[in-house]
Amino acid sequence: MLTIVSNLGVLIGLIFLIVEISQNSRIASATAQLELAQDRREIYQYADSMIEIDSKFRRGEEVTDIEGVIAARLYESRIRSYETQWHFWINGLVDDDQFEAYQELLEGTINTPIVLQLWEDAKDIYHPEFVRLVDERLMNSPQ
């Protein structure tokens, strides 16, 4: 009788553990989505400034030192957001379809002359596997 009660206790403990792990996975995924949304909000708060600066870059006009710093920080923030998405993806918190969409956005962000230069200058601050993924993506993309 004692063995049956012990086994029943172990079984109840395992069921409880499975439920806890499932809940923790859902919480981690929701937290990841919330963090990504926060990253996007922070980036978009500078959108108006960036439209003007980006237009100058595309027209080949000179930008002020302050505009250059704003652009560099904004693009670094955007790339960091994509790296965060990559971390979530390799840890199973973001699905493949969502990650592919982010890769397409990343490619569009980086694949301009000024941002490519910023990427080359600063890519050593990112995770090496993320750098490899971005470089491969850029190498295989139409310019």
pTM of the full structure: 0.63
- Contact criterion met (CB below 8 Å) for 138 and 107: yes
| Block residue for tokens 């963090």 | 35
The CA distance from 127 to 111, in Å, is 19
22 within some domain:
no
15 within some domain:
no
Q: How many domains does the chain fold into?
A: 1
Q: Which residue has the higher pLDDT, 73 or 58?
A: 73
User: What is the tens place of the pLDDT at every residue in 8-37?
Assistant: 676 677 676 676 766 666 666 556 556 655
Q: In this model, does residue 48 exceed pLDDT 80?
A: no
Contacts 24+ apart (CB under 8 A), 138-143: 138/107, 138/110, 138/111, 141/107, 141/111, 143/111
Exposed/middle/buried for residue 72 (C-beta within 10 Å: 0-12, 13-18, 19+) = middle
| Three-point CA angle 80, 85, 90, nearest 5° | 125
96 within some domain:
yes
User: What is the tens place of the pLDDT at every residue in 68-112?
Assistant: 888 888 888 888 888 988 988 898 888 888 888 888 888 877 877
10 within some domain:
no
Mean pLDDT of the chain: 77
The residue segments making up the domain with residue 85 are: 34-139
* Sequence-separated (6 or more) residues with CB below 8 Å from residue 102: 82, 85, 86, 94
DSSP 67-97: HHHHHHHHHHHHHHHHHHHHHHHHTTSS-HH
